[in-house]
Each structure stands twice: as structure tokens, then as C-alpha cells.
Amino acid sequence: MVNGVWAQEALKRWEEKRDAKSELLASRPQLGYYEQIVWEAFQVLHSAREYNMGGPQKLRISEALIYMKEIGLKTDDGLILVLAMDDTWMEYYVKKHGPKKGK
């Protein structure tokens, strides 16, 4: 029964990947209250990120400021942290996908 063996092997590989992800999530650092709010702000802003032919665009400062004021986050520290997260994400994206080449 080839299909049964294949299914068992596929299930075994899936479980190994799931367990590895669970270990990684369990070992992540716990964020404080303020850091959690800043992280969530980044996630919301990131989900609305604009893309064009050149790939993802940096978060707009104006949108970040408006969002932070709406949720009551101190804009000076929060903005610096969100923009630092954005810079880190953009660097990761370029390393993973490479820079977009022009014509």
C-alpha cells in the first residue's frame, strides 16, 4: 500500500516541523506591556504595507503617527521602535529575496 506509506511519512514530517516551530515559539522572549503594544502596532502597520513593482515600501511615518495617536501610544519612543522594526524587516526581505533589478 504505497499511498498509506506515503501518508505516514508525510504526517511524520509534518509533526517534526510542527514540533520544531512549537519549540521556537516556546523559547521566544516574553514582551513587556509596552513592547507588546509597539509590536502589535508594527503588525497592523506592516499588514497595510504598500507594494509596487520594486517590492515592499517602507512604512509611512505619517501613517505610523496617526495610528499611534489613535491607540494612545507615545509617539516619540513608539515611532522610533516601529521604524527600527521596519528597517529590520526591510533588511530581512532584501536578504531573502534580493534587491529588485531595474530594466
Tens place of pLDDT per residue across the chain (103 aa)? 456 677 788 888 878 877 777 777 777 788 888 888 999 999 999 999 999 988 999 999 999 999 988 988 877 888 999 999 999 999 999 999 887 665 4
Residue 3: per-residue pLDDT: 61
Cα 7 from chain centroid?
A: 32
Specify whether 52 is located in the same domain as 93: yes
Collapse the DSSP code of 56 into the 3-class scheme (helix H, G, I; strand E, B; otherwise coil) and give the result: strand
Which structural domain, as residue segments, surrounds residue 13?
1-29
Residue 41: per-residue pLDDT: 93
Specify whether 9 is located in the same domain as 43: no
Number of domains present in the structure of the chain: 2
Q: Which residues contact 58 (CB under 8 A, 6 or more apart)?
A: 86, 87, 90
Specify whether 41 is located in the same domain as 13: no
Specify whether 16 is located in the same domain as 43: no
Specify whether 59 is located in the same domain as 80: yes
Q: And the C-alpha cell for 25?
A: 515559539
Specify whether 16 is located in the same domain as 58: no
Quick one: which of 24, 18, 85 has its CA closest to 93? 85
Specify whether 39 is located in the same domain as 83: yes
Residue 102: per-residue pLDDT: 54
Tell me how far apart the alpha carbons of residues 24 and 4 are, in angstroms, rounded to a whole number.
30
Specify whether 25 is located in the same domain as 38: no
